[in-house]
């Protein structure tokens, strides 16, 4: 039976292509101008909900992060995932508060 399996016409299926929501972008260093742009957009849009509490925080944060992704791509031509930008925002707030302000 082992010979039959190895000699059978079972083809290896190619890896499925990721959809746009699953696409991963290579993490590269961000330029200072990109970080400044991220901070300005997220502060302007009240990403952290400091001005007023959100009724649906996850939906609003996702919408704001989508606008940041498109703004960075339009201004700098770099594609970043929302997850990369969330991590960068968290790092800025915790590790480098002087840059945040």
Residue 19 above 70 pLDDT? no
Confirm whether 32 is domain-assigned: no
Q: How many CA atoms lie within 13 A of 27 on its CB side?
A: 7
Can you give the pLDDT at residue 66?
A: 92
Give phi and psi for 78, each to the nearest 5: -105, 140
The pLDDT tens digits for 29-85 are 788 888 889 888 988 988 888 888 778 888 888 999 999 999 999 999 888 899 989
More confident of the two residues 92 and 70: 70
More confident of the two residues 97 and 73: 73
Confirm whether 1 is domain-assigned: no
Give residue 12's pLDDT band: very low, low, confident or very high (50, 70, 90): low
Q: How many domains would you assign to the chain?
A: 1
User: What is the distance between the alpha carbons of residues 53 and 70, in angstroms, rounded to a whole number?
Assistant: 25
Confirm whether 29 is domain-assigned: no
DSSP H helical ranges for the chain: 2-6, 32-44, 57-76, 82-95, 97-100
Confirm whether 94 is domain-assigned: yes
Write out the residue range of the structural domain in which residue 73 sits: 38-46+53-101
Mean pLDDT of 16-25: 56
Confirm whether 89 is domain-assigned: yes
Contact indicator for 54, 60 with CB cutoff of 8 Å: yes
Contact indicator for 70, 28 with CB cutoff of 8 Å: no
């Amino acid at each position: 039976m082992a010979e039959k399996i190895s000699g059978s016409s079972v083809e290896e299926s190619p890896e499925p292509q990721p959809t746009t929501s699953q696409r991963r972008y290579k993490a590269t260093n961000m330029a200072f101008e990109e970080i400044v742009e991220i901070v300005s957009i997220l502060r302007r849009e009240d990403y952290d909900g400091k001005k007023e509490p959100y009724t649906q925080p996850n939906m609003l944060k996702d919408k704001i992060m989508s606008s940041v992704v498109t703004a960075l791509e339009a201004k700098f031509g770099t594609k970043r995932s929302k997850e990369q930008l969330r991590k960068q925002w968290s790092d800025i707030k915790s590790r480098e508060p002087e840059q945040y302000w």
